[in-house]
Chains A and B, each alone.
Chain A
């Protein structure tokens, strides 16, 4: 009789908290189930409470790796972008989250790891390593990366400068980049407020772009970041503030 091979999870010896910090994760049915359930509830709440609306739905429908780039002024942004994806793609969608903010205190860590499936992104030191991790993920088809290239939530509602890292991630690579604009999230849940307000929130998804013809040198990377910023900003509805 041939010996059975047990394919154990790699993190058996780790305490539960360390397991939440680890990436890539090895979730089981319970986590998937809980995540899908909470996603359904969040979708319902967004629809009712924030009258959430998606424009350009079809731009997010693809079976190839996808990078979603959006403006950022609220925690609602991540939830809105996740709510725009099909449920079965949820477990392959990784919103990049600042590891110094989301991966420290236990409740945030739990929410980031279990509910949002966030990718811990080092925004101060070791940015390069985090970008390499993103590259690795993009090698599997079906991966969706959600990135807010401003690097933090805007406190004015304006779209800030995009960090050049986003350029480095997509330059010379055959991945679709979809610029998105989230309108209303600044009024609904600005930075510093405890709870969201019942304001209307809209997600506008632009047409996918591809930067495979561009080189990965410094000038091109910065140019791509600037282009993406303009692309996101152009999606802003004329009457919207953010």
Chain B
């Protein structure tokens, strides 16, 4: 991945156009609602503007190449974990949060460097990347021992481990995907498809939503929205088949399941966390979306599943 390759890569160029067209369609729908149907769209418009900004930044970072992509994903993990730590109260413990930040940076480094003895092809040290949790958890468990403290430590350790595994490591898979042979196809597909599924869950829920899906977790999510997003998720890999021409029907169906169901499970699992903490959003970083953690929730679930699915059937690097 580099700017020169991206310029000539048909997949990246296709996604560039697809993103532009999707944003234009979104804008047209929004304009229709606002000016023809005279609906109140102020909050939707804010969400839409944030989408434009995020799409621009995302495309730019992927365009710039492998190192910016991995660095960008690591930064997102760091800020998402910061939001999680502030919401859960873990941020008051400097040592434990520091250990998690260190772990997240190590995940980024493992995605950046190559195998030291050259036993793996290409860049990125897969063997280390998948074992980072061992070292990070060991470090987190070490902290109360070093500080000779036990009171409330189980809660801190648990929050730190969940924060690291969920935000640092699982989301870090998105960065590792930049090392894949088919990096542009995989990265662009996962990011674009989960975003489209999120939007369609919202849209179908708004139009047809009747039956609440998980009333105790997230009162606004409905079965209708979920089924709509699932259907869109199942269709997308076939429509975007050019991103991975070597995928057969089995892999395409799996990819559809991962973005169609996995993305929504990610959304629900962060809702569980937010419900238990008792906050609506993790932060208010992105206008119209909530925090960074709220935005990347479905990617956290979908990216690692997708990467390991693709890596199981085809050599990743």
Q: Which A residues form the contact surface with B (CB < 8 A)?
A: 4, 6-9, 12-16, 26, 28-30, 32-33
* Contact in complex: A28, B85 (CB < 8 Å): yes
Question: Which residue of chain A lies nearest to B97 when distances are taken between CB atoms in the complex?
Answer: A29
* Contact in complex: A30, B284 (CB < 8 Å): no
A-B contact pairs, 12 of them (CB 8 A): A6-B277, A7-B89, A8-B88, A8-B89, A8-B277, A9-B86, A12-B283, A13-B281, A28-B82, A28-B85, A29-B97, A29-B101
Q: Taking the nearest CB of chain A, how far is it from the CB of B140, in angstroms? A: 14
The complex places the Cα of A9 from the Cα of B277 at a distance, in Å, of 11
Q: Taking the nearest CB of chain B, how far is it from the CB of A55, in angstroms? A: 33
Q: Beyond A6-B276, A9-B91, A12-B279: 16 further Cβ-contacts under 8 Å?
A: A6-B277, A8-B88, A8-B277, A12-B283, A13-B281, A15-B285, A15-B287, A16-B283, A16-B284, A26-B86, A28-B82, A28-B86, A29-B91, A29-B94, A29-B97, A33-B98
The complex places the Cα of A4 from the Cα of B155 at a distance, in Å, of 8
Q: Taking the nearest CB of chain B, how far is it from the CB of A140, in angstroms? A: 15
Q: Taking the nearest CB of chain A, how far is it from the CB of B28, in angstroms? A: 29
Question: Which residue of chain A lies nearest to B91 when distances are taken between CB atoms in the complex?
Answer: A28
Chain B hits for A4, CB < 8 A: 155
| A12-B86, A12-B279, A13-B281 as given contacts; A7 in contact with B92, CB under 8 Å | yes
Q: Taking the nearest CB of chain B, how far is it from the CB of A196, in angstroms? A: 31
Q: Taking the nearest CB of chain A, how far is it from the CB of B103, in angstroms? A: 13
* Contact in complex: B78, A30 (CB < 8 Å): yes
Interface size, B (range): 20 to 34
Complex interface residues of chain B between 230 and 288 (CB less than 8 A to chain A): 276-285, 287
* Contact in complex: B87, A30 (CB < 8 Å): no
The complex places the Cα of A8 from the Cα of B273 at a distance, in Å, of 13
Chain A hits for B283, CB < 8 A: 12, 16
Question: Which residue of chain B lies nearest to A16 when distances are taken between CB atoms in the complex?
Answer: B285
| In the complex, the 6 A-B pairs of residues with the closest C-beta atoms, listed nearest first | A7-B89, A28-B91, A9-B86, A29-B97, A15-B284, A6-B277
Chain A hits for B91, CB < 8 A: 9, 26, 28-29
* Contact in complex: A8, B86 (CB < 8 Å): yes
Chain B hits for A9, CB < 8 A: 86-87, 89, 91
